[in-house]
Structure 1
């Protein structure tokens, strides 16, 4: 069934560049409807051997049947390429993923950062301080500690950055652990933790649904029926 899902996808994506409103699809100016060539079985096997993990099935089949990255949600799926004999993903923030830790289970969304460090439990508010300088010092200390905790490498072990939404917001694909195969939104730049990208039913989106939902929305937008938001969700006209 996984193979069948991708049977006609490459043709559908490449056909979109000819639609009159194709440029209205968010991120199209970045990927320009171009898909990388698919990987061969030997290339995929080498990639997985180097990173030490079998990639989620829908993503594996996408790489083999559709392309090794390119046109997709937001500014496109980060391409996986071999450079000087080593495989890795390329894109704005792709290097945030530690490829040496992909076999480690992606952590459950815990421990809560407030539980890890009581200093994070309450963000300083200006009205709580008599002097502006005191507030600024307290906020700076809180912000630095927040970044130390939230951007600790272990919080994203077992996942790769899959695309860039703009404004330092990204999405991750979990490749190991109980959330394997799902997409997580990363809004830490806005002081929010990573969270699963929900589908219409509220459950976390798997890679295949994430990509194909985007494609259906992009086709409607390119026909002039509606616009798409940065994450691929529909915006009524």
Structure 2
């Protein structure tokens, strides 16, 4: 298996962490430029044994060469930690990952919205009283929430990042889109969608992380040039 080369990344992250504009980068108040140590090969083997699945090559090489979590896109990568002899990811939204079903296939390759098949919300004009309308509306939104946020939609997804306002991004661990990054936009009733590069190709973990790194370096350079007399 050919693993991604991440040898340049630790130094680049270290330089960014001491940059004068480091504290103004979006999400820095979350990850604070802290980088957890990489996993050892034994730790990774134990993690994958507990999950009953091998992680996609790009992400597993990052875990071994760079970090188990911390500094990264938006508010940072959810770190994977051993807690009471069990491995799990921690962070705002990390609990959305069902560790017991990561080895089961995420069946989708195209964007989908679980709420699309629901009927339209009730119209107050169709009800004789405000009370009956309110009851129908409450029942509808309960059904909507149960459908849109059902855990079955995220089987095979490993949540890695919180973008704020309950928007999150995840890595497909199992299924036909294995190794691709997806966005979970259910917080705005947008469903799930795969991330793509400008040329339309799927975004894997390496492009996702390095894309953030390059954009962040450019932001830091731009802010330095504006502040230079």
Unaligned runs of 5+ in 2: 225-229
Q: Indicate if the aligned counterparts of 1:24 and 1:221 stay in contact, CA closer than 8 A.
A: no
- Tell me the residue number matched to 1:173: 171
Deviates more, 1:194-203 or 1:33-42: 194-203
Given the superposition, is the C-alpha separation of residues 139 and 27 from structure 1 closer, same or farther in structure 2, using an over 3 Å criterion? same
DSSP-derived class of the 1:176 partner: coil
Question: Structure 1 length normalisation: TM-score?
Answer: 0.86
- Tell me the residue number matched to 1:101: 101
Q: Indicate if the aligned counterparts of 2:180 and 2:204 stay in contact, CA closer than 8 A.
A: yes
User: Structure 1 residue 125: deviation in Å?
Assistant: 4.8
- Tell me the residue number matched to 2:227: none
Work out the CA distance in 2 between the residues paired with 1:78 and 1:114.
27
Work out the CA distance in 2 between the residues paired with 1:85 and 1:105.
26
Mapping of 1:151-166 within 5 angstroms?
151-166=149-164
RMSD of aligned residue pairs (Cα, Å):
2.2
User: Structure 1 residue 9: deviation in Å?
Assistant: 0.6
Given the superposition, is the C-alpha separation of residues 208 and 128 from structure 1 closer, same or farther in structure 2, using an over 3 Å criterion? farther
- Tell me the residue number matched to 1:136: 134
Deviates more, 1:15-24 or 1:124-133: 124-133
- Tell me the residue number matched to 1:77: 77
Given the superposition, is the C-alpha separation of residues 126 and 19 from structure 1 closer, same or farther in structure 2, using an over 3 Å criterion? farther
- Tell me the residue number matched to 1:47: 47
Question: Structure 2 length normalisation: TM-score?
Answer: 0.88
What number of residue pairs does the alignment pair up?
222
The answer to whether the aligner puts 1:209 opposite 2:210 as a matched pair is no
DSSP-derived class of the 2:35 partner: coil
Q: Deviations over 1:174-219 (max 9, x none)?
A: 1000111111111111112111122212333111100000000011
Mapping of 1:56-95 within 5 angstroms?
56-95=56-95
- Tell me the residue number matched to 2:114: 113
